[in-house]
Structures are given as structure tokens and as C-alpha cells.
């Protein structure tokens, strides 16, 4: 049986795309291997969001080109494939095929055309040991934040029909999945006729067998009160809202074309805290946007202090060819970017620690995601917000939900014990 090896870079949407493509290959009778040297087909699913995402993907593609076995094929998919197209093949001669993120359906045509189909034993079951899975509910983005390549590589927004989302969720439940993360670059602009994103969340939450529903990402300009109220009122919707702020000053937000003010953003935070007091709020934050002054960076630090995020993903600005910001004059040196990033990460780490430490003594439900690698009796999980949990327990299994009490904090994990309720 021929085998394939998949390597995925980038965001959850890329992981979800890879999983869809993996399923197609499994359906066609291919085996998945964990050893790239043995694979007959190697696929690198790429990301373009920052320069270093592309650098890492290119390095891996080159490496695969060198080590792949004789006759093995090397395909490049995803956002960098969309951005650079056939130029990848010209630069890296060992690449056989380039299929951009907007052409995943071509992947199937390529499979049928260039690779033989083998007898298979039926549809593949669950792809992961984890009880959670991603479901893409909308593709593309039309927001054109000035720094961002995503609208160019992923194209315009297209929502997946709600009936399709629900039937996919039901199929995954049959395979043993109980936690679903609905994905879109801006899930709040989801629409299928009269069904908006809050309605879709409720529909997914009520599919029998669904224990938890998460989603990412909400754009602050379209995060509605209805959405927040829906989360507050539905117990299987996790108490977690990822609401990327990007920067802490109105001038930079406007240069970024984020289309909200700081006041609007803080109003949303206040609304979330009012309806869902125990919510974990998380963010994406960028430093070193063209023109960002020391004072404006300080504004970002002040905002982070004020909101008290549970965690945040933090980045140094990276210029992307073809975006509006790429033609703005870069004023922040790489050194300054890195030192700003470090200060921001230090601040956020200390806030994360405070939040975790103050959760000691709290009781909540934890969903077990799997065993901690080196420890027999130690299990990893997540509460119904966005806090990581370690649970020591003899008889657990991924997918089980336990009532626990937090007895200790490591600053980024809550060490918990089971309680009976
Ligand atoms: N749709 C999501 C973000 C997707 S990209 C949203 O709007 O929030 C994930 C994160 O990468 C962004 O939130 C941003 O913080 C970061 N990012 C995007 N482009 C970037 C760039 N050119 N340089 C540095 N970070 C970037
Ligand atoms: Fe990029 Fe902005 Fe779209 Fe997010 S909303 S993907 S940051 S353009
Ligand atoms: Fe995701 Fe990177 Fe593409 S963040 S949408 S894989 S550019």
C-alpha cells in the first residue's frame, strides 16, 4: 500500500484543511506514515502569515526534497502555495506539484489524475486520539487589515451551509469526537440565509453527543451582544472568547484598518465580563507596526494590564509583500521590535500567572485530552474556559469529563484533583 506523510504549518484552519485532505487520501487506500523517508507522497501544507512561517516551510520542503525516497512525490499546498504558485517549483526543483489554499478541490483532481487509486476498506475513522476536532465554518476574509496576507491568499468570505456543518459534526460524534471548535478568520460574519453565527453555535451545541463547543476567531468590529448572550445561556458553549485586539492605540488601530476604537473594544470586554463573569478572554497582539512609537507601545502594555487576558498570542510585525502596510515606512528596527515583544510577553506571562494562581480552590469540569507523555497517572485537559489542567487519576481516558478542584498552580497550568458532586 502506498503511503503519505503530512506536515502542516500555520493556523487551525490549515490543520483542518490538512485533516480533510488526509481523509481523502485514506479513502483512496493510502496509508499514513510517521516517517517522511518511507512516504511515497509528501505534502507540506504551508502558511504565509509572517516571513518566518514561509522560511520554515521552505526549509522543510527543501529537506524533504533531499531525503525523500526514490520516486516519491513532493506536493506543496496551503497559503504559501497560493501566494507563490509555480514560483515554488522553479526555486525548489524537487517539488512536483503546487496547489494553493483556494484550490483544495483541485487536490482531489490531482489525486485522481496523478496518483493511482487503491482498494480501500471504507471511510477512515477518527484521525486523532484527541476528543476534540476542528470544523471550518467559513473560509476566506474580506477585512483587509493592512498588515495581513490572509485575504489575498484565502480569498473572499464563503460560509459553509449550516446543514453541512451540522451533519459533519454529527458524523464526527459517531467517530467519538465530543468537543468541536468552529473555525473562520472572522466567524462573526458567518451567514447562511437567516442563520447567523450565534444561531449556528446553538445548532451545533444541540447535536446529540456534543459536549463542548468552542470557536475562533471573533473580530471585535462584529462581535455581537447576541453572540455573548448565547454563550452565557448555553452550558456546552465554552466560557472562552478569543478577541484579538492587535494594538492599544486608536491611531495604530486605524492604520491597521481594524475598524474599531479602543473604547468600542473595552465596551465589549465589559459586556463579556457582565454576561459571563468567569470567561477566559484571549487575544492576538502585534508590536512594531510601521510608525508605532514608544508611547503607542506603552498604550498596548496598558491595555493588556487593563483587560487581563488569560493568555495571548504575541507577534512582531512582519512586512508582507502586496499588503497595504508593506508600502508604509517601517520605523521600528528589528531590535526594538524584539525588545518590545519581550516586554509584552513578560507582562502577559505575569498576568497569566496571576489568573492561574487566583483560580486555586475553584471547582469546574475538565475534559481530558490525553495522557501526559512521561507520567502514567497524569492526564492533561482543559476546563470549560481556556485554562490548562493537569489531573492525577488512575482510571481516565481521553474524552472523559470530570468534576475537579484546582489545588495548585504552576503559573500556566492548574494541578487538579477529582471531586464528587
Ligand atoms: N483573523 C484573525 C487573525 C488571523 S492571523 C483575526 O483577525 O484576529 C493570526 C494573527 O497573526 C493576527 O491576529 C495577527 O496578530 C498576526 N499577524 C497577521 N499578520 C501579521 C504580520 N504581517 N506580522 C505579524 N503578525 C501578523
Ligand atoms: Fe487578517 Fe484582519 Fe482578516 Fe484577521 S480579520 S485574517 S487579521 S485581514
Ligand atoms: Fe492560516 Fe497562515 Fe494561511 S495563519 S490562513 S495558514 S497564512
Whether residues 265 and 294 fall in one domain = yes
Q: Which ligand is nearest to the CA of 141?
A: 2
Residue 213 lies in a domain: yes
Whether residues 141 and 267 fall in one domain = yes
Closest CA to 241 of 181, 196, 195: 181
Whether residues 293 and 405 fall in one domain = no
Residue 123 lies in a domain: no
List 379's β-bridge partners, or say none.
371, 391
Q: Where is the domain boundary, 310, 337, 358?
A: 358
Whether residues 97 and 217 fall in one domain = no
Would you say 69 and 38 are in contact if contact means Cβ atoms under 8 Å apart?
Answer: yes
Whether residues 225 and 141 fall in one domain = yes
- Model pLDDT for residues 167-210, shown as the tens digit of each residue: 999 999 999 999 999 999 999 999 999 999 999 999 999 999 99
Whether residues 339 and 293 fall in one domain = yes
Residue 14 beta carbon below 6 angstroms from any ligand 3 atom: yes
Whether residues 172 and 106 fall in one domain = no
Q: How far apart are CA 98 and CA 92, in angstroms?
A: 11
Residue 122 lies in a domain: no
Q: Phi, psi at residue 46, to the nearest 5°?
A: -105, 165
Q: What is the pLDDT of residue 158?
A: 96
Q: What is the pLDDT of residue 421?
A: 74
Q: Structural domain tally of the chain? A: 3
Q: What is the DSSP letter of 236?
A: T
Q: Where is the domain boundary, 336, 358, 380?
A: 358
Residue from 143, 183, 190 whose mutation best tests the ligand 2 pocket (most atoms within 8 A of CB): 143
Q: Can you give the length of the chain in residues?
A: 421
Q: What is the pLDDT of residue 122?
A: 64
Q: What is the pLDDT of residue 161?
A: 98
- Across the chain, which has 421 residues, the per-10-residue mean pLDDT values are 94 95 88 95 98 98 96 96 96 96 86 75 73 96 98 97 98 95 96 98 98 97 96 97 98 98 98 97 98 98 98 98 96 97 98 98 96 83 97 89 96 95 74
Whether residues 219 and 234 fall in one domain = yes
Would you say 62 and 23 are in contact if contact means Cβ atoms under 8 Å apart?
Answer: no
Would you say 282 and 215 are in contact if contact means Cβ atoms under 8 Å apart?
Answer: no
Q: What is the pLDDT of residue 329?
A: 95
- E strand or H helix at 350: helix 334-358
Q: Which ligand is nearest to the CA of 144?
A: 2
Residue 124 lies in a domain: no
CATH of the domain at 248: 3.80.30.20
Q: For residue 176, give the C-alpha cell.
A: 467519538
Residue 309 lies in a domain: yes
Distance from the alpha carbon of residue 357 to the mean position of ligand 3, in angstroms: 33
Whether residues 150 and 29 fall in one domain = no
Would you say 237 and 230 are in contact if contact means Cβ atoms under 8 Å apart?
Answer: yes
**Omega of the bond leading into 217 within 30 degrees of 0 (cis):** yes
Residue from 50, 136, 141 whose mutation best tests the ligand 2 pocket (most atoms within 8 A of CB): 141
CATH of the domain at 386: 2.40.50
Whether residues 370 and 346 fall in one domain = no
Q: How far apart are CA 393 and CA 381, in angstroms?
A: 12
User: 97-100 and 73-78: which strand pairing?
Assistant: parallel
Whether residues 44 and 142 fall in one domain = no
Q: Where is the domain boundary, 310, 339, 358?
A: 358
Q: For residue 41, give the C-alpha cell.
A: 507522497
Residue 143 beta carbon below 6 angstroms from any ligand 2 atom: yes
Ramachandran category for residue 416: left, alpha or beta (phi over 0 → left; psi -120 to 50 → alpha): beta
Q: What is the pLDDT of residue 121?
A: 61
Residue 153 beta carbon below 6 angstroms from any ligand 3 atom: yes
Torsion of CA 169, 171, 174, 178, to 10 degrees: -20
Residue 127 lies in a domain: no
Q: What is the pLDDT of residue 123?
A: 67
CA 333 to chain centre: 29
Residue 185 beta carbon below 6 angstroms from any ligand 2 atom: yes
CATH of the domain at 60: 3.40.50.12160
Domain of residue 408, residue span: 363-418
Whether residues 248 and 266 fall in one domain = yes
Q: How far apart are CA 89 and CA 171, in angstroms?
A: 38
Residue 121 lies in a domain: no
Amino acid at each position: 500500500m502506498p503511503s503519505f506523510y503530512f506536515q502542516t504549518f500555520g493556523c487551525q484552519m490549515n490543520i483542518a484543511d490538512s485533516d480533510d485532505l488526509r481523509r481523502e487520501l485514506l479513502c483512496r487506500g493510502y496509508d499514513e506514515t510517521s516517517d517522511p523517508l518511507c512516504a511515497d507522497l509528501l505534502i507540506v501544507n504551508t502558511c504565509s502569515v509572517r516571513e518566518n512561517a514561509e522560511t520554515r516551510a521552505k526549509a522543510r520542503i527543501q529537506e524533504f526534497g533531499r531525503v525523500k525516497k526514490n520516486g516519491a512525490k513532493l506536493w506543496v499546498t496551503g497559503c504559501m502555495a497560493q501566494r507563490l504558485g509555480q514560483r515554488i517549483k522553479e526555486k525548489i526543483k524537487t517539488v512536483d506539484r503546487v496547489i494553493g489554499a483556494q484550490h483544495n478541490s483541485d487536490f482531489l483532481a490531482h489525486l485522481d489524475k496523478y496518483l493511482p487509486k487503491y482498494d480501500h476498506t471504507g471511510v477512515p475513522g477518527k484521525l486523532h486520539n484527541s476528543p476534540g476536532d476542528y470544523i471550518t465554518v467559513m473560509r476566506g476574509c474580506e477585512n483587509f487589515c493592512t498588515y495581513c496576507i490572509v485575504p489575498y491568499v484565502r480569498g473572499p468570505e464563503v460560509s459553509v451551509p449550516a446543514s453541512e456543518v451540522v451533519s459533519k459534526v454529527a458524523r464526527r460524534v459517531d467517530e467519538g469526537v465530543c468537543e468541536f471548535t468552529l473555525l473562520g478568520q472572522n466567524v462573526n460574519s458567518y451567514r447562511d440565509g437567516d442563520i447567523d453565527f450565534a444561531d449556528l453555535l446553538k445548532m451545533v451545541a444541540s447535536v446529540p453527543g456534543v459536549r463542548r463547543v468552542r470557536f475562533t476567531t471573533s473580530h471585535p468590529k462584529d462581535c455581537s451582544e447576541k453572540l455573548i448572550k448565547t454563550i452565557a445561556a448555553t452550558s456546552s458553549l465554552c466560557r472562552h472568547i478569543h478577541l484579538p485586539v492587535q494594538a492599544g492605540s486608536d491611531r495604530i488601530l486605524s492604520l491597521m484598518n481594524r475598524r474599531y476604537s479602543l473604547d468600542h473594544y473595552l465596551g465589549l470586554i465589559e459586556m463579556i465580563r457582565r454576561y459571563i463573569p468567569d470567561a477566559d478572554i484571549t487575544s492576538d497582539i502585534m508590536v512594531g507596526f510601521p510608525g508605532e512609537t514608544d508611547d503607542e507601545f506603552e498604550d498596548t502594555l496598558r491595555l493588556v494590564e487593563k483587560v487581563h487576558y488569560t493568555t495571548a498570542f504575541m507577534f512582531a510585525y512582519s512586512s508582507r509583500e502586496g499588503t497595504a502596510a508593506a508600502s508604509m515606512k517601517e520605523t521600528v528596527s528589528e531590535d526594538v521590535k524584539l525588545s518590545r515583544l519581550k516586554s509584552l510577553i513578560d507582562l502577559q506571562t505575569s498576568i497569566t500567572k496571576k489568573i492561574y494562581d487566583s483560580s486555586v480552590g475553584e471547582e469546574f469540569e475538565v475534559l481530558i485530552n490525553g495522557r501526559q507523555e512521561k507520567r502514567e497517572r497524569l492526564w492533561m485537559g482543559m476546563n470549560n474556559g481556556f485554562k490548562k489542567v493537569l489531573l492525577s487519576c488512575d482510571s481516565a481516558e481521553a474524552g472523559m469529563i470530570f468534576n475537579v478542584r484546582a489545588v495548585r498552580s504552576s503559573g500556566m497550568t492548574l494541578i487538579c484533583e477529582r471531586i464528587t458532586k
